[in-house]
Amino acid sequence: MKREKFESIKNTGLSRLYRVYLDCGTNEAGEGAKVSELFLTSNQAVHKIVKDKVTETKFHKINGGEHTYNTFKKRIPKVISFLTM
Instruction: Give residue 64's identity as a one-letter amino acid code.
Output: G
Render 19-70 in DSSP notation, one character per residue: EEEEEEEEETTSTT-HHHHHHHHHHHHHHHHHHTT-SEEEEEEEEEEESSHH
Q: Using one digit for the tens of pLDDT, what is the confidence trace for 28-78?
A: 888 778 888 998 999 999 999 999 999 899 999 999 999 899 988 998 999
Largest CA distance in the chain: 38
Provide the residue ranges of all domains of the chain, joining segments of one domain with +.
3-7+22-83
pLDDT at 1 over 70: no
